[in-house]
Amino acid sequence: MNTLDINIKKQLGDNSFNYKVKIDNFNILGVFGDSGVGKSTFINMIAGIIKPDAGYIKISDTVLFNSENNINQPIHQRNVGVIFQDTKLFPHLSVKSNLLYGCKREAGCRSSSGSKNDINFDNIISILGIEALLDRKPNKLSGGEKSRVAIGRAILSRPKLLLMDEPNASLDSKKKEQLLDLYKLMATEFHIPTIFVTHSKEELKQISKQTIIIEDYSIKAVVQSDTL
């Protein structure tokens, strides 16, 4: 069972961030709020990019942060995949090299084992439909293609949790629809719990059952996505 259990505080300048939530048994969990209310800060604290001042972060049976017990797992040990709005692909590497960077510590993910839902290089590029892009550099890709490569790189790292911070923000409506279907497929196919951040209610209605509402740097409620 996938569980998100968070109770953290952080002071950044004049802004006091306060996130407290516990959610059991989620597949894709939405995070909704207007620009500047604290959605990215929430994601960055889970990922380890920002250290909370106090509290704890627990994902299923793994403690990522606990101020009382002096636990703060470094980013590279959290096994949390992050997909940002700008994809952050390595510009000097080919698509193939970007993908293999995600699984450099997973020797078995370069070839297929034959299992439909196995996380390996062959299966991922097939599901993403990026076989023809492997030799290209990121500057030769469209926005949608970059997003697919970023997803592949994150999945190939075999994360315990996948964080998606407004990955569709710069895409047109058609590409957004295609990628939403792909996000759902990847989460269900490989059973990776996913937190999906967006300011679009329509996206959340399509992709998640539950949504965290963030306002004024804190979690105000958890609602059923279809009620947004």
The whole-number pLDDT of residue 15 equals 95
Q: Is 84 helix (H, G, I), strand (E, B) or coil?
A: coil
User: Average pLDDT of 163-168?
Assistant: 88
The whole-number pLDDT of residue 109 equals 57
- End-to-end Cα distance, the chain: 25
Q: Is 63 helix (H, G, I), strand (E, B) or coil?
A: strand
* Position 55 in a domain: no
* Position 68 in a domain: no
CA distance 194 to 213: 16
Q: How far is CA 5 from CA 26, 61, 64, 195, in A?
A: 12, 10, 10, 13
* Position 15 in a domain: no
pLDDT over 70 (residue 169): yes
Question: For the chain, what is the mean pLDDT?
Answer: 88
CA distance 151 to 117: 16
* Position 186 in a domain: yes
CATH code for the domain in which residue 89 is found: 3.40.50.300
The whole-number pLDDT of residue 118 equals 60
The whole-number pLDDT of residue 140 equals 94
* Position 117 in a domain: yes
Model confidence pLDDT, tens digit, residues 95-141? 999 998 867 654 445 544 444 456 778 888 888 889 999 999 999 99
* Position 71 in a domain: no
Structural domain range at position 168: 27-40+78-227
Lowest mean pLDDT among 19-28, 92-101, 115-124, 153-162: 115-124
Residue 223 near residue 210 (C-beta atoms within 8 A): yes
Q: What percent of the chain has pLDDT over 90?
A: 56
The whole-number pLDDT of residue 91 equals 93
Model confidence pLDDT, tens digit, residues 38-69? 999 999 999 999 999 999 999 998 999 999 99
Q: DSSP letter string over 101-167? A: HHTTT-GGGGS--S-TT--SHHHHHHHHT-GGGTT--GGGS-HHHHHHHHHHHHHHT--SEEEEEST
* Position 98 in a domain: yes
Q: What is the pTM of this model?
A: 0.88
The whole-number pLDDT of residue 192 equals 87
Higher pLDDT, 189 or 65: 65
* Position 57 in a domain: no
Domain count, the chain: 1
